[in-house]
Every structure is written in C-alpha cells, then in structure tokens.
Structure 1
C-alpha cells in the first residue's frame, strides 16, 4: 500500500463499478418521496443476522424525521430466489427498499453503492450483523441541530456477541462511563485528524451502528477505496476529516456485534498491523506531532496495536513475535504504561469537555 497516497489523495471510487447495475427487487420509492435520513444496510449472505439489523432500523421509537431503509445485497442470484430475498419479501413496510447488485462489487464497492442509492440528505450505515438503539433517529435528529456544518457523526456503541474477545474496563473507565451515560445525553465530542496523528490509530471506529454521513460530502470525498483494505474506513475518515467536521456522540447509538468474520481473519489482522506501521512511518515524516510521538513512543505505539490485534485474534494462529520485523521492538514497561494511561486520560478529558461544551 502507498500510504503517502492514502494520506494525501482521495480518488473517485464510485466510477469503478459504473457498469454494475443495482436492481430494485422489493419496495416502492414513491411511498417515501423525500427521506431526510437513509439507513443503509450493505449485506452479503447473512440473512439470519440481517433480520435483526432490519428490525432495529424499522422499529424506531418516536422518529422525528422522514427516513428510508435500504438493503444493498452483494450476492449474485443467477435467477435463484436467495434466502435474503425471501426474508425481505416478508416485510410490507413502505420504508424498506431492497436492491441487489448484478455483480459482486466487493465490500468497499457495496458501501459506496449505498451512498449512491441513498435518497436521504444523511446516510446512516448499519452493517448487517449490527443493531441500532430503538431511539436512534430521535437522538441523531436532535444532535444534528447542535452544530453547524457537520460532516459526519461516528457512532458510540455497545459491544455484543463474543465479549470474551474484549478486554475488561478498568475501574476508572467504569466510573467515567457511568458519568458519560448520566451527563452525556445529546452531547457531541469533536474528532480531529490530530487525534489520529497523535495516537496512530483508527479513532473513528467502524462505519456502522448508525455512523452518519452528509451524503454530498461523502460523494465529493470519493468514497471508500478497496485498495486500502482492511483499513479503508480509517483512511477514508482521516481524509474526510481534513475537510469536514466529524463528531462522536457521547450517548450510545447502536450495538456492535463481535463474531468470527473477515475482520478477524489472521491475514486481515496481519494487514491491520502493517497498515498501522505504514501510517506511523508516514505520520512521522509528514507531521510534527507524528514525529514527536514516534521519537518518544515508537515501540509503545507498535505494542498497543499488537495487543489489540492479538486480543481480537486470540483463537487464531497469530503470534506477537511475527510482527517484530515491522519495528525493532523493545519492551519498555514504564513507557508502555505511561502511554496507555496518557491515551485513557486524553479521551476522558475530551469527553469531559464535550459534556461541558458539546
């Protein structure tokens, strides 16, 4: 991967699949003429979990805006009625539209197709194994009125599924989370490219659980680039954030399901580490803060990424030692502890500032 190109340039990724048609299989667009928000669910052969995702999008409490729910299916049917199609045709909700691509355009292509097919001013992404909170639309409609020229809201979510893959919160984190739940309602925390430059990681999170994008801005940005897999969401949002304001609600918007899928494939996990190492190197060369963090915490930045990947892939054949070639690693326990504490304190302060001013 040419990480310098990733940082400095955004291509038009929508033109890559202009010749692939997305056919409307179920639903009537005339029933909802001008949706304000489109909840977009890209899917591929996951009809059982997909039903839960759809239900969470359709069964919204007190939605205070017009909205549509679009399913964009990447499974080629070859004239056969698929399990996903059978599921969708069991719905009679006028808000639901089901599209199927005439060819498989990959994950990035399908995410981009969601932008293209959405008719809402805002596009909320929901992966087909995740869920929205039941008052998602009510919450985000109020949040969008709080700030001017919002480009995106990335989602705060609760992890469900195989929780044994996730580390337990510290006592400080448990206390602060309770405070954020109590005082963080209808509050927004500003996310900036500087945050990524300092911590050399995807501080935006995955584009799901109601991550909301202003459609026109996303189209101008060029969409997700399949060549940046598996970090395509990180690099897209990093570039997007250079031009447009990104905020993160302190309040929970959805539920993120941790299951064995492509993201937990050992090959994919290895690629995550390589992407972070590449970004760290370019960050060092391109930005003063990146140079300073590299100088003092090069090994610690690498160690945190390794810990994260090893925790995700704890049941795979991954070995921490195999990543040592990406950084002449030195174990420095005191600096590593300092780095981790600084990371936690940094985000606690940002959240407190959001509770006061957000």
Structure 2
C-alpha cells in the first residue's frame, strides 16, 4: 500500500457510474480550469471499448472548479467522471498518490491538467498490452506542444539527430525495455502516457515528496527494478509547454540535483559503476539543453557548485558516441 500523508479528499461530483472500470484515467489539477476542460475532454473522449473512468483530483482546497467545469460542459454529467477535492494542498507527489488511491480500475494512468491524450491512446496501448502479457508497465512517446509566444524551433540538423536517436532506441521494434541502464541516461517522460496496474503502482511504493520535482523518474526506477517496463514507439500524448513552474530557475536546479541522485541509484540498481565518470558530460549536456529549451538562467557553474562536480564543456557528439557504445539507447 501507498502511505498517504494527508487527511483525504472530498468527492464533489459523480457522473455516470461505472461499477467495475478496467482503466482509471487520473487527472491532477490546480487552478487551471480552461486547461482542465481540455484534459478532461481528451480523457472522456477515448475511443475504447472497455469500461473506464476519469478521476479529477483538485489540489486546491478552496476550488469551485467542479461546478464551473460541469456548468461549462453539461454533457459531463453523463460521462464516467468523478471529481475529488483535497482538504489540503498536499503537493504534487502526494496528489499523484491520492489519484492512485481513489482509482477503482485494474489499470491506472495519470496526467496533468495541461496535458492531452490522443483519442486512440487507450485503444492502441491495450492492443499492444494484450499481445504482450509480460509487460507490466507501458509508456508511449510524447509530442511537445509548445504554446509559448516564441516556441523553440527545430533545425534540420536537430530533426535529423532526433530521427537517428529514435532509430537507435527502437530500430524496427515497436517497443523497447526500460531498465536501470536506460534510466541512467534519460527519463522516458513524466507520468503522462504511462499505464500500469494499480497493484503494481502500490508495490513500487508510489511517488515520494522527497524526490520532487523528479518523483516520476525515481518512481520509474523502482518500478523497473520490480516489474517489466517498456516504452512504445508511438506518439500518443501531448505535453504542453507554457509559462509554469517548469520554467523557473529553482525548479531546474532541483531537477539537476535529483537527476544526479537518481543516476547514482541507477548504478546501485545494475548500471556499470564506471559510468559515474560520465556524470560531468551528462550534467553539461543537461544544463545546455534545459537552458536552450526552457530559456532558464541556469549555468554549468551553478550546477557544478551545487553537485560538487567539476565543470566540463558540453560535447554532445562525444556523449552520443559514448552512449551508443554503451548501448544506452
């Protein structure tokens, strides 16, 4: 069982009841009604021939968005929707855990109020899971929906590099195994697009506040150590990039710190010990990438002082060559 560090949530709304849902789609929200409407629409609109429910967990104890949501979209009264409001703001990790606790489906997936599921997400994910009963957890690839005023473009060279990396990851296969070696190099994504059995979420310990803001990456490592985790080559979810906490400098410094800790945990879980020598190169690449994509003022000096790791120049081609040689894709 997952240890919930809060005093529960109130059920504010129940739409069409589903007695025994096969799948629970959990949506976490906090003061973003317009985005929540889109996320809920993408969830209830799944083209899926099995019973499923949509659960909203509102982390604002003063929220009235349940009423506003139903008022703006009256058809949701007949949707398989349940809306909960936490009695206290419990933070991101414990909010994820609350969603798992309230889920009644055998399988559970979690998304945020600014993310979207393709209408075929559930159908395609479970078509694959039906063929591969050995897979315990499956995450699809994602599309970055950059809605900033000046979105980051992609040059021809970067587009080519992205396709090459995709080929190295999957080749002719539909899925690839995610284990400690893969998680040393990258996190395959946040919770959006990942689905697993509720019992397996619980067996892996759920999400931990002390691992924030990388609770998802740390959870995947624990999950991959106990269960068979795979990534699907298809892009079936959209991650919205806008003005939010991900763009804050302190958030990215915290991410860099937690990523560093998770990489040591990956080595303890089976990745080669000599890979610790690659950490300065990985840190340099991470700082450059997040500074470019998120436009945050984080420097290699900031991260090196925090982690007490020497500064090196960002050398993406060298890192890519080493990663390929280490079969890190």
TM-score by length of 1: 0.80
Give the Å deviation of 1:279: 3.7
Q: Does 1:267 align with 2:250?
A: yes
Residue equivalent to 1:158: 143
Give the Å deviation of 1:50: 0.7
TM-score by length of 2: 0.86
CA contact (8 A) 2:28 2:95 kept: yes
What is the aligned residue count? 320
Give the Å deviation of 1:262: 1.7
Q: 2-side partners of 1:179 and 1:244: how far apart?
A: 24
Query: Could you say what secondary structure the match of 1:119 adopts?
Result: coil
Render the CA deviation track for 1:11-36: whole Å, top value 9, x for unaligned: x652322xx2222211157x211110
Single out whichever of 173-182 and 218-227 deviates more from structure 2: 173-182
In the alignment, structure 1 segments of 5+ residues that lack a partner are 1-11, 351-358
Q: 1-side partners of 2:134 and 2:94: how far apart?
A: 27
Q: 2-side partners of 1:299 and 1:227: how far apart?
A: 24
Query: Could you say what secondary structure the match of 1:26 adopts?
Result: strand
In the alignment, structure 2 segments of 5+ residues that lack a partner are none
**From 265, 272, 286, the counterpart of 1:305:** 286
Single out whichever of 119-128 and 140-149 deviates more from structure 2: 140-149
Q: 2-side partners of 1:277 and 1:178: how far apart?
A: 27
Query: Could you say what secondary structure the match of 1:156 adopts?
Result: strand
Query: Could you say what secondary structure the match of 1:323 adopts?
Result: helix
Q: Rate the CA distance shift 1:245–1:280 in 2: closer, same or farther, 3 A.
A: closer
Residue equivalent to 2:21: 35
Q: Rate the CA distance shift 1:227–1:162 in 2: closer, same or farther, 3 A.
A: same
Residue equivalent to 1:60: 46
Q: Does 1:171 align with 2:160?
A: yes
Give the Å deviation of 1:291: 2.4
Report matched runs for 1:153-232 at 5 Å: 153-162=138-147, 164-165=151-152, 168=155, 169-174=158-163, 187-197=174-184, 199=185, 201-202=186-187, 204-208=188-192, 210-232=193-215
Residue equivalent to 1:146: 131
Render the CA deviation track for 1:256-307: whole Å, top value 9, x for unaligned: 11112122211010111122333445656x3674422223x33212211212
